Structure 1
Amino acid sequence: MTPSRARRVLSTLVIAGATLLVAGCSASPGSAPAPTSKSGDTATTTPPGGDSIATEVEAAWLDDGRAIAVVTWGSSTCVPVAGDVSAEGQTISVSLASGGEKACTDDLVPRAVYVGVPEGVDVTQDVELEVAYGGGTQDADLDGLAQAPEGLGEQKASAGWFEDGGIALLTWGSSTCRPVIEDVKQSDAGATVTFKTTDGVCTMDLAPRVTTILLPEEHDDGPFELTLVGDNLDATVAVIG
């Protein structure tokens, strides 16, 4: 694990209730606790709609470098959506906008937004993100990958680190039936993530859904693998980054 992914020590953890996030994100009691402050800094940016994000923004590689998860902390019912995305050299500028909700719950969870990597960005070199949201701009860095992806990808599950104990998981499926985590069990070299069975009617589209996972314990270094179980998501996924 590289130093650029290491997060400052979180002073307090609040266990958030299981929440199905729109815009491709989900959180669960065992997998997504949220900090009430970060190193004593509680400054926030407040976008339209009453939502707020912590001063830090995180990022994770997805799909072998074809995409990035942009992770913010805030209300589970007021999840931002990706707007304009552009690149100049190795800097990617991302504009996030309010999802249009009129009221926001007073919880604090990690929410991830799927962003495709613009053409011309070399993912084998370090990448800087400039994320604009609610009138403010925050930065996040990604270390270059060992190799660039080939082709368009096969829409398979993938995962990347956004902090020492935080993983962004990309799955593909119905935009109205997003994965909801039921349980996370961690070992030295991996974790088994169990999902609740979807109950209801799902649209027939095929969309990227990003689920944020906070592990019970931080993983310092070395290979790490997720075993996905349930809800037709069964797979084994190496965590990159």
Structure 2
Amino acid sequence: MSRHRLTLIGLLGAGLLAAGALTGCASGAASSSPTSSSSSDAVSPEPAGGVEAAWVDAGRAIAVVTSGSSSCVPSVNGEPQVVDGALVVDLVEPAQEPCTRDMAPRATLVTLPAGTGATADLAVRVSGAVEGETTLAALGDVSSASEDLAPSAGWVTSSLVAIVTYGSSSCVPVVESVTADGDRVAVQFAAPPADQVCTMDYAPRVTLADVGAEAGQGEVSLVLSGGNVQAPDPIPVLGTR
């Protein structure tokens, strides 16, 4: 999928999400924070403060992870720019109903500008609603690009991964459990509530999951299931821990 197409999908999802918030979505605001409905070991909170990032979508995009209210995930303001060798991303808080008063990691998907790739280290400078800097190490192999609208995943920290799936932007999948599955890690998403109302768009969503206890050493692939997520094949986790 072209970079222009992915950007249009993200903008469409953001607009419809705002419309859903104004009409009172029964499920509340979408959140990319790692939560678990039945397993306390599935995810765990990261320290508050700071900025982290992960390669996703075969290095064509990154997930910027910040800390704050899990119900109010920042969005990208304008187009990210490369300034003095660093990717500059301006984040804004969503204009919606009051946010929950928790402190959790949230992930914002950022499409890279044309000419920016994953074959070199990428400095990321975040400003606006959250401020901070981080650097992503270059990917060792980006020769096999992911298919259009295919799920992807990348390392945020040594245990936390960002998982990109596609569907309604107002109904982000929630991690229910994380278990070892041979040389892979199985991530089970919770079944959505029967009365959950979702916007009728089709956009990328980012879910965070702590897989450190199950990942072992070396390269890791995720097996995704549940939560209306369509992922028939294992998903390699990009980047380094």
* Structure 2 residue 32 is matched with structure 1 residue 25: yes
- Partners of 1:23 and 1:104 lie apart in 2 by 11
In the TM superposition, what whole-angstrom CA distance separates every residue of 1:88-112 from its partner, at most 9, and x where no partner exists? 3641100111112453322221100
- Partners of 2:183 and 2:169 lie apart in 1 by 31
Structure 2 equivalent of residue 118 of structure 1: 113
- Partners of 1:220 and 1:91 lie apart in 2 by 32
Structure 1 residue 81 displacement after superposition: 1.2
Structure 1 equivalent of residue 24 of structure 2: none
Structure 1 residue 231 displacement after superposition: 2.7
CA shift in 2, pair 1:116/1:230, >3 Å: same
Which of structure 1's runs of 4+ aligned residues deviate more than 6 A? none
Structure 2 equivalent of residue 222 of structure 1: 218
Task: Give the TM-score of the pair, scaled to structure 1.
Answer: 0.74
* Structure 2 residue 128 is matched with structure 1 residue 162: no
Amino acid corresponding to residue 34 of structure 1 in structure 2: P
| Structure 1 unmatched runs, 5+ | 1-19, 39-53
Higher helix share: 2
Structure 2 equivalent of residue 47 of structure 1: none
Alignment check: 8 A CA contact 2:60 2:111 kept? yes
CA shift in 2, pair 1:208/1:164, >3 Å: same
CA shift in 2, pair 1:137/1:101, >3 Å: same
Structure 1 residue 237 displacement after superposition: 0.7
Instruction: Pick one of 170, 188, 204 that aligns with 2:200.
Output: 204
CA shift in 2, pair 1:169/1:93, >3 Å: same
- Partners of 2:88 and 2:145 lie apart in 1 by 24
Same amino acid, percent of matched pairs: 36
Structure 2 equivalent of residue 182 of structure 1: 176
Which one is further off, 174-183 or 214-223? 214-223
Structure 1 equivalent of residue 71 of structure 2: 77
Amino acid corresponding to residue 62 of structure 2 in structure 1: I
- Partners of 1:222 and 1:216 lie apart in 2 by 12
- 1:28-107 equivalences under 5 Å are 28-29=35-36, 30=40, 31-35=42-46, 38=47, 54-84=48-78, 85-88=80-83, 90-101=85-96, 103-107=98-102
Q: CA RMSD in A?
A: 2.6
Q: How many residues align?
A: 204
Structure 2 equivalent of residue 194 of structure 1: 188
| Structure 2 unmatched runs, 5+ | 1-26
Which one is further off, 178-187 or 124-133? 178-187
- Partners of 2:81 and 2:31 lie apart in 1 by 21
Instruction: Pick one of 140, 160, 167 that aligns with 1:146.
Output: 140
Structure 2 equivalent of residue 239 of structure 1: 237
Structure 1 residue 118 displacement after superposition: 0.7
Structure 1 residue 182 displacement after superposition: 1.5
Higher strand share: 1
Query: Which protein, 1 or 2, shows the higher relative CO under an 8 Å CA cutoff with sep ≥ 6?
Result: 2
In the TM superposition, what whole-angstrom CA distance separates every residue of 1:11-37 from its partner, at most 9, and x where no partner exists? xxxxxxxxx8856614213433224xx
Structure 1 residue 160 displacement after superposition: 0.1
Amino acid corresponding to residue 112 of structure 2 in structure 1: V
Task: Give the TM-score of the pair, scaled to structure 2.
Answer: 0.74
Please give the secondary structure, in 1, of the residue aligned with 2:218: coil
